[in-house]
Amino acid sequence: AEMSNLGLPVPPGFTITTEACSYFYAHDESHPAELREQIECALAGIERSLGARFGDPDNPLLVSVRSGARVSMPGMMDTVLNLGLNDRVVEGLARKSGDERFAYDSYRRFIQMYGQVVLGIENHFEELLENHKLDSGVLLDTDLSADDWRTLVAGFKDLVAEELGRSFPEEPQEQLWGAIGAVFGSWMNPRAVTYRRLHDIPGDWGTAVNVQAMVFGNMGADCATGVAFTRNPSTGANEFYGEYLVNAQGEDVVAGIRTPQHLTNAGKEANKSALPAMEEVMPEVLTELYEVRRTLEDHYRDMQDIEFTVQRGKLWMLQTRSGKRTAQAALKIAVSLVEEGLISREEAVGRIDPASLDQLLHPTLDPKAKTAVLALGLPASPGAASGEIVFTAEEAESRASRGEAVILVRIETSPEDIHGMHAAKGILTTRGGMTSHAAVVARGMGRPCVAGAGDLRVDYAARTIASRNIVVAAGEIITIDGSTGEVMLGAVPTIQPQLSRDFATLMGWADAIRGMKVRANAETAVDARMARRFGAEGIGLSRTEHMFFQADRIGAMRRVIMAEDETGRRAGLAELLPMQREDFAEIFRIMKGFPVTIRLLDPPLHEFLPKTADEFGEMALLTGKDIATIRRRALVLHEVNPMLGHRGCRLGITYPEISEMQAAAIFEAAVVVTKETGEAIEPEIMVPLVATRKEFDILKQIIDRVGREVMERAGVTVRYLVGTMIELPRAALRAGEIAETAEFFSFGTNDLTQTVFGLSRDDAASFAGAYQRL
């Protein structure tokens, strides 16, 4: 309706609102009583507008039935085209169009889509079509004749009767109501539910249904269908980005059934396509599309994803919506729209999903690395990824859950693959273009994707891909570069990306309007440098135990654990003190006066003990103790439930010398860096796993005492804070008491969630999926 009000060429139609969808689910999938009359009136309006009648065999009106979700959910919802055809109407369409082949092609498309979407018949239609092409000796759908399509129509209807035990519905009104119910029903299909969960879209929004008069892109060489973005959805560049297919219908482009052609010569050349661009074969239509592009961006003040059809040289706009884009593109577009005067700085900041900025951290291939290119496809979603080849979404999800890196390889993806696409490190398809399902969904997820790699042959049965006599099997490693379209053998080294000017510009605007500070987690100098590079204003959590696991420290830590008395423990801790001191000093230097919160040792001691026979042997050599003694010590330290066992502040209370050493390392590091730089270093020392004020007070007294001793020896005053992490229900309930002596709180939501709900984050995955579906 909005496009029509803007004066754009839109086929007449009407919208059934989301309220009707809510009623549908609340009333056992039935419709409001008044809806039937309203639809009849709206349909009559379309008939008057076009001078055609729905179901009339002499002057037929056909309609499309599409979803109209509040936000873009590409490929997740169902669509039915060419609705209103039956055995009599198809003959009328043939006479009216003067093209029998077009009429029966449209009829078979309708039966196929209606059969899949409304009647629930899976996949068999495509199998019949492929077999018929094989028998007829043709490669493309466009090579089939009217008689071929007539034969396939009969075959499709036989399939429906065989699968359902009843004939395909001939009555147009029955078809219409079936399609409306199916589109409402698709709001709750598994792929739509998964997509909403991944993108935090409320399930109670529901979907509208758009019913529009059909326009046809499959009536001949002067007809086409296409999808375009008003700006580049991968980079955000202000360039028209899109694809089209001659003599096709809209679903052909997004389904990736044929590799589409580019709209512009620039797009054609950039992607080394041999197929003619629309700029060459339909220049007048492209000129009109440019005008549409300008009108839509001026109105919506955002990059748009548009669908269009060209029927006998005339452009028709079918749909526009805010386009999915990468994080890099979102930044570029937001900054550009401010510079163009279309939106304010506050609007630009509000349009960026903070979580999406994680995409900017995706690695790219090291330009110095040697690569063996296996194939070249289209650069559908930026970023580089390496992983073992898998061929099904289920295998991708299963192996990713075990921590394995996989690349999902498909001839073409479908919405049912969304869970595997989310689990995979990257996606590779051999069909489809840069607006195909795989490309759009991968960009939205931040997954690297190469689409339309037509040089590759996928053999699902043999579980291989092949190109130029090179065969790669499932389980072998490949690398894909979604920025260039290259598919490479083996794992290729990657490098971290450089942040763009647009990132800095937008983050500067965010700094000007924000009301809070953001810190990072960091345990190493590398982490701290990265945090500062990204603008962190301090370290919110530095886990000291991670430092002990490094190869040059683990031996000393194990000597502490194996010691039979305090004297032995202190000897091992004396080895660790200078290492920890230098760790903290380096972090203080990098943070240059910004606050650094350091958590004292938290995990149980047994985590530092050897696990394998070789490690037990190494520890025996290191400590001078026999393996049997070490195994006995490991058995003594073993706990049935270590998460709630001898860890956190409990370690500091039973072995205060550990907390003393860590406090000394922190204060000595602060003194060193203060003397070096002249800047005041103000560490924040966090006591973990506190349940009561008494526990906290015992550790705070140790920290305060060690701090006084270090400062007196050095003649330097260090300002510091001592606080705790609220990660147990008891601490949350007694927080008022603890706050009387604690100088800050941090919330440890991992352990707090586990202990409040009585579950383990390591095991919850086995049943959490069932809970998410409730």
Residue spans of beta strands (DSSP E) within 323-391: 364-365, 373-376, 378-381, 384-390
Q: Is the pLDDT of residue 34 over 90?
A: yes
Across the chain, how many H-helices and E-strands are there? 32, 30
Which CATH number does the domain housing residue 728 bear?
3.20.20.60
Which CATH number does the domain housing residue 314 bear?
3.30.470.20
Same domain for 163 and 134, yes or no, is yes
CB 317 within 8 A of CB 308: yes
Whether 348 is covered by a domain: the verdict is no
DSSP-derived secondary structure for 744-756: -EEE-HHHHHHHH
State CA 640 to chain mean position distance.
Answer: 38
Same domain for 253 and 170, yes or no, is no
What integer best gives the mean pLDDT of the chain? 89
pLDDT, tens only, 462-510: 999 999 889 999 999 999 998 889 999 999 998 777 778 999 899 899 9
Same domain for 24 and 120, yes or no, is yes
Same domain for 56 and 135, yes or no, is yes
Q: How far apart, in Å, are the Cα atoms of 671 and each of 78, 529, 547, 677?
A: 66, 21, 20, 10
CA 397, 402, 405, 409 torsion: positive or negative?
A: negative
Same domain for 240 and 388, yes or no, is no
Same domain for 73 and 141, yes or no, is yes
**Structural domain tally of the chain?**
4
Whether 336 is covered by a domain: the verdict is no
Whether 282 is covered by a domain: the verdict is yes
Percentage with pLDDT > 70 across the chain: 96
Whether 663 is covered by a domain: the verdict is yes
Q: Is the pLDDT of residue 6 over 80?
A: yes
Same domain for 486 and 521, yes or no, is no
**How far apart, in whole angstroms, are the C-alpha atoms of residue 629 and residue 274?**
73
Q: Is the pLDDT of residue 614 over 80?
A: no
Which CATH number does the domain housing residue 400 bear?
3.50.30.10
Whether 27 is covered by a domain: the verdict is yes
Q: How far apart, in Å, are the Cα atoms of 528 and each of 85, 225, 260, 595, 683?
A: 65, 51, 46, 12, 15
Same domain for 228 and 205, yes or no, is no
Q: Is the pLDDT of residue 426 over 90?
A: yes
Q: Is the pLDDT of residue 364 over 80?
A: no
Q: Is the pLDDT of residue 183 over 70?
A: yes
Residue 424 lies in domain: 363-495
Same domain for 196 and 68, yes or no, is yes
CB 441 within 8 A of CB 413: yes
pTM of the complete model: 0.62
Residue spans of beta strands (DSSP E) within 522-644: 539-543, 596-599
User: The tokens of 156 are what?
Assistant: 């499709």
Whether 567 is covered by a domain: the verdict is no
Same domain for 447 and 299, yes or no, is no
Same domain for 189 and 243, yes or no, is no
For residue 766, what pLDDT is reported? 60
pLDDT, tens only, 521-557: 888 888 899 889 878 899 999 988 867 766 677 778 8
Q: Which residues pair with 328 in a beta bridge?
A: none
